[in-house]
Amino acid sequence: MATRNTHGFRRIAGLILGFTLLLPIAPVSADPGTDNLKIVIEKLTDGFDADNPNDADVPEIAPGAPITWTFVVTNEGDLPLHTIRVNDDQLGGIPYVSGDTDGDGWLDLDETWIFEAMGSAADLSTAAGTVPGCGDGRPTYQNRASTVGRSGNWQSTSDFDYSHYCNPDGEPDIDIEKLTEGFDADDPFGADVPKIAVGLPVTWTYLVTNTGTVDIVTVDVTDDQGVVPVFIGGDDGDGILNPGEVWTYQASGVVEDLGVTTFTTVDGCEPDDPEPAYENMGLVVGTTGDGTVVDDIDPSHYCNTPSIDIEKLTNGNQADGSFDGDVPVIAAGDMVTWTYIVTNTGDVDLFNVTVTDDQGIVPIFSGGDDGDGILQPGEVWTYEATGTAEHLGTTGFTTVDGCDPAGPRPAYENMGAVVANTIRGASVDDIDPSHYCNPPDAPDIDIEKLTNGNQADGSFDADVPLIAPGDMVTWTYIVTNTGNVDIVDVDVTDDQGIVPIFDGGDDGDGILNPGEVWTYEATGTAEDLTATVFTTADGCDPSDPRPAYENMGMVEGTTGDGTVVDDIDPSHYCNPPGTPDIDIEKATNGNDADDPFGVDVPVIAPGDPVTWTYVVTNTGDVDIVDVDVTDDQGVVPVFSGGDDGDGILNPGEMWTYAAGGVAEDLATTVFTTADGCDPSDPRPAYVNLGMVVGTTGTGTMVDDNDPSSYCNPPGNPDIDIEKFTLVVPTSSGADLCDTYGKPSMLTMRYTGDGNDASSHTQDSGKVVVTGDPLDADPVHITASEKINGDGAIWFTGVVALGDTFVIDAGVGERLDTETHIWIQDAGETVTLQNIEFHTSCSQPLLLGDQFGAAQLLGFVDEDGMGESLPLSTGFGEDADTPTGPSATAGDTIQWTYVVTNPGDQQLADVMVTDDNGTAGDSSDDFNPDPLLDGAFNVGDTDMDGLLDPGEEWLYQSFGVAQLGQYANVSDVVGTPVDSNGDPTGAPDVVDDDPSHYIATFPPGDVCDTTGKPQILHLVYTGDGDDATSHSQDSGKVSVTGDPMDADPVHIIVTDKEDPNDDKAKIFFDDVVALGDDFNADSMMADKDEFPSATFVFIYDETETTLLQSIEFHTSCSQPLNLGDQFGAIQFIGLTDKDGNSAGI
């Protein structure tokens, strides 16, 4: 029965599954007999229509396999339908799934409703109710679906549809599914890949299913990683894997560390940041009764779990929360120590651990590593940083409420952070905060008063200063805010009426902040404490007290809330006790010269002027009212100054007297002389005695005397020069890293140079040189893996200028990425130079490379292989006679000139000259550079600019080794002078010394370092074929004729065998003298390089007689070594079209 509700709906009870359903009013036909009602059903088996048993789309489904039947119901009539039911003759009532888009319970004309049922495929060979089908008469499952619907007039309409399926025609098949800890994990990047800590147990499950239609009588399950699966269950008891039957196997193991495991791993775990994933493969092989073999495989994976933890402590307290009970209370200005404890809480090694602090503090590693630089699982590293506690009421650092929950105040907060990477680059990180508080408000102030820099709180204290009456007194008042509250008003006074003046310390805000120190100062004149009206107290000497001046410094301050704080501090001074004393110091020409053998005794030529100075000082604490100065040689000292105008020599006051005369000839003088001047060869020294007598106001007499001397010049000036030659080889030109392995040991020479001497092929950003040792000799050198000798130490010791030292990582070991060389003075107190260069072979290393004051001379790799440059040390060889040291043309030659004064007179205007290897030609002579310490030669020990007897001065110059025997001569000249630096009139002293070296051609094919020659640099030697010497194939070179040292000759260089050939390219055509060099240039023929073969024709000067013809190879397919000889032509170098040159 239907009733209409107030919304225009009819209520129909019990139509669908027993529920009451509100249906909208549907159109009702006025003539039900004419309604077109049509419901249609389509039934699908696993998505296939399969209406007829022999249709091509009838699916084959193995017994036991799941099946889904879909029932599609549509309305092809004119009116909506309700009360839709779907039944199946094999399955019964079918449940509705979807399709009622407007949710009104009516199957509208534009709607498609879906019903669905699921089941398992039957074994059709034994099932009842099958029909022949599948195209070959096989038993075919058939079920019939039907549907019915009703119109608004309750007229009904219905439809039905068949669908079918077959079993496969006897097809054997098998499937294995492998699970890791219950997860399929087929894809190494899949979300179901389990992450398991290293060392934990892991369980693999293997599910084996007969997915065919034939019994499998033998089953073998294995794993490609050697794991042994064990049968767990699933068999129905017949030992046969029947179609659809599932057997379970299981195996277990321990999780590997996938960063180092030898087991198979693949990229996986995190798609954006891949890590190693463990992979193993389950395999199954089965056999049917007729011997057919079926198999299947399935992979599974797992990953490790990296993680890291940081715990930050403040003064040993965790203090994570700003209100926590362990938050330390630290006064502003006190030391704070932050500790950062980093733990590898995961199960894989971590690399590149970086610890930072969000407040800019720099944590420093302090320990925990086992030496491998890897943070291993469970390993704990500690870092530390220190600082000074801020005043948290004014700081610009991050603060939060904290400290006291009942009365919060600012708490300092900073965050420790750590980040690290796994071996494959995955990043892990962690953070941890920590806090501290200042103590609660406690205003306080302190004043410390000083007298002439002394505390002198007690009148008998040992630091009470002694100040003579009338001398200056300075009082200093040091005011400190010793509380933790700002003091906004500060007043400093003195009980003796002195007015302290502010002197500094304020940070500019006019507020005395906690910990801030302000300084005030006042000055005055010391009183005579036996008569002063100022406050005195007994003091000065506990055994014999006398009056001590006492005054009190006072300070008062006010905080912002009006709280007043104050403090006082006394200070004292005493007058000196009455001890008269006097001193005289006599000088001759400004030299004290007390000892006639002293080094300061001036040398004065007979007849030269002499000035004696007498400095008289009151070294007591009592005025001297009468002063008399005399000289025992009858010289009359005259007062020249120092009195303050009262005619009294006050304590500490210094008066000066002077007298003049003419130096005596001490060999004949009647004046007093004594042995002196030269301890090893004494001669007469003039001696006179200055004397002073003084009287105090009480009549006490004091006196003193002091001698002074001078000498005449000796008569034996001399000078010596020794010249040394040092060969500094150039690099071999080959990157040692290309020839050998990574370096284990480097031999370096200390050259004393700055960064301007650096010469190498490493990238500029890989080499850092700071400072300049300025040829300091000797120095202390430390070579290590980190700056200033930190990390592994590979060399440490004292090295002389020019000597070598060895950087050694140890046998079989190799140096780190960077090597740091720290050069200090020999006493290890001053850093002179820091050097960093690259030593892991990602940058080139060449013999001869120069890094600041360190030059690379030798290289040994970790297998003990290497090479070195010929070694010369120190200044090199004296080489007075040929041949001298051996060099390769182009090497650097260092000449050191050692100039010595073997005489007994000082020498001025010392000049060293070198003839530059051209004896008799002064036009190219030069003066070597002096080695300086500041403005003076390094050997000028007294820095007076004079070459004193026994002094050794150094000079130096450099050149480039020239081919053959080389000789140059240096000479030195100096002028004898007296102690004032004036010439004695003696002749200049001179000396000279030769030096030699011999240089040969550098070895090797120059074509290896340049392009093909554009210019050939050649020498005409006048030789025949018997002088020929080269490394080209014999068939590439021919020489006929002999010029027999003809001089001069006419030479033509061309590309043709006949120089008169019209097509000949002429590269040189001119007259050449014997021994002269000349350039054959391809550009003369408009060519930018030489051809394969080059021909040289040597004629007499008039070009009438051919003396010699030569052919040799010039396109670099045959070697060209410097010094190669082709008949009368010697090859000495080339230039390619890019301007690169080789040779001399």
Asked whether residue 772 carries a pLDDT value surpassing 90, the answer given is yes
Section 696-707 average pLDDT: 88
Q: What confidence score (pLDDT) does residue 257 get?
A: 78
Which residue's structure tokens are 């740091």?
820
Omega of the bond prior to 602 within 30 degrees of 0, cis? no
Q: Are 511 and 503 in contact (CB under 8 A)?
A: no
Per cent of the chain over pLDDT 70 is: 94
Cα separation, 997 vs 958, whole angstroms: 13
DSSP letters for 712-727:
PPPS----EEEEEEEE
Cα separation, 464 vs 595, whole angstroms: 39
Cα separation, 423 vs 376, whole angstroms: 11
The 8-class DSSP code of residue 961 comes to P
Q: Are 537 and 572 in contact (CB under 8 A)?
A: yes
Q: What confidence score (pLDDT) does residue 107 get?
A: 96
Q: Are 918 and 730 in contact (CB under 8 A)?
A: no
Chain center to CA of 579: 65
**Residue range 300-326, pLDDT digits in tens:** 988 888 888 999 999 999 999 989 999
The 8-class DSSP code of residue 736 comes to H
Chosen CATH of 886-1000 out of 3.40.50.970, 2.60.40.10, 3.30.300.30, 2.30.130.10: 2.60.40.10
Q: Are 746 and 856 in contact (CB under 8 A)?
A: yes
Cα separation, 655 vs 644, whole angstroms: 10
Asked whether residue 3 carries a pLDDT value surpassing 50, the answer given is no
Asked whether residue 123 carries a pLDDT value surpassing 50, the answer given is yes
Q: Which amino acid is at 452?
A: N
Q: Which amino acid is at 504?
A: G
> CA gyration radius for the chain?
54
Q: What confidence score (pLDDT) does residue 811 get?
A: 78
Q: Residue 283: enclosing H or E segment and its boundaries? A: strand 275-288
Q: Is 788 helix (H, G, I), strand (E, B) or coil?
A: helix
Q: How confident is the model at residue 1093 (pLDDT cuts 50, 70, 90)?
A: very high
- Return the structure tokens found at 722: 């020794």
Cα separation, 575 vs 92, whole angstroms: 129
309-437, which class in CATH? mainly beta
- Return the structure tokens found at 1097: 């024709």
Q: What confidence score (pLDDT) does residue 1082 get?
A: 92
Q: Where are the domains of the chain?
A: 2-166, 174-303, 309-437, 446-574, 582-711, 738-868, 886-1000, 1006-1143
Burial 999-1012 (b: 16+ CB within 10 A, else e): bebbebbbbeebbb
Residue 708 burial by CB count (10 A; 0-12/13-18/19+): exposed, middle or buried? buried
**Residue range 915-926, pLDDT digits in tens:** 998 988 999 999
**Residue range 154-210, pLDDT digits in tens:** 899 999 999 999 988 777 899 999 999 999 989 998 988 888 877 789 999 999 999
Q: What is the pTM of this model?
A: 0.35
**Residue range 628-652, pLDDT digits in tens:** 999 998 899 999 999 999 999 998 8
Nearest to 980 by CA among 674, 637, 591, 672: 591
Asked whether residue 898 carries a pLDDT value surpassing 70, the answer given is yes
Q: What confidence score (pLDDT) does residue 694 get?
A: 93
Give 202 or 15, the one with higher predicted confidence: 202
Burial 483-501 (b: 16+ CB within 10 A, else e): bbbbbeebebbbeeebebe
- Return the structure tokens found at 545: 């007290």
Section 259-275 average pLDDT: 77
Which residue's structure tokens are 């003039």?
686
Highest mean pLDDT out of 370-374, 874-878, 1006-1010: 370-374
Equal fold, 309-437 vs 886-1000: yes
- Return the structure tokens found at 1139: 């301007």
CATH number at 2-166: 2.60.40
CATH number at 446-574: 2.60.40
Q: How confident is the model at residue 891 (pLDDT cuts 50, 70, 90)?
A: confident
Average pLDDT along the chain: 88
Nearest to 845 by CA among 864, 828, 869, 824: 869
Which residue's structure tokens are 């850092």?
768
Which residue's structure tokens are 């360190």?
854
Q: How confident is the model at residue 21 (pLDDT cuts 50, 70, 90)?
A: very low
Residue 419 burial by CB count (10 A; 0-12/13-18/19+): exposed, middle or buried? middle
Q: What confidence score (pLDDT) does residue 728 get?
A: 74
CATH number at 582-711: 2.60.40
Q: Residue 774: enclosing H or E segment and its boundaries? A: none
Q: Are 70 and 163 in contact (CB under 8 A)?
A: no
The 8-class DSSP code of residue 32 comes to G
Domain 174-303 has CATH 1.10.3820: no
Nearest to 1082 by CA among 1097, 1070, 1094: 1094
Q: What confidence score (pLDDT) does residue 932 get?
A: 87
Q: How confident is the model at residue 732 (pLDDT cuts 50, 70, 90)?
A: low
Omega of the bond prior to 354 within 30 degrees of 0, cis? no
> 596: which residues sit within 8 A by CB, 6+ positions away?
674, 675, 676, 677, 685, 687, 709, 711
> 846: which residues sit within 8 A by CB, 6+ positions away?
731, 732, 733, 734, 735, 736, 760, 761, 856
Q: Are 485 and 547 in contact (CB under 8 A)?
A: no
Nearest to 506 by CA among 482, 524, 481: 481
The 8-class DSSP code of residue 248 comes to E
> 87: which residues sit within 8 A by CB, 6+ positions away?
93, 94, 145, 146, 147
CB atoms within 10 A of CB 971: 17
Cα separation, 719 vs 925, whole angstroms: 21
> 583: which residues sit within 8 A by CB, 6+ positions away?
616, 617, 619, 704
Q: Is 891 helix (H, G, I), strand (E, B) or coil?
A: coil
Section 10-17 average pLDDT: 30
CB atoms within 10 A of CB 17: 10
Q: What confidence score (pLDDT) does residue 16 get?
A: 30
Q: What confidence score (pLDDT) does residue 341 get?
A: 97
Q: Which residues pair with 793 in a beta bridge?
A: 784
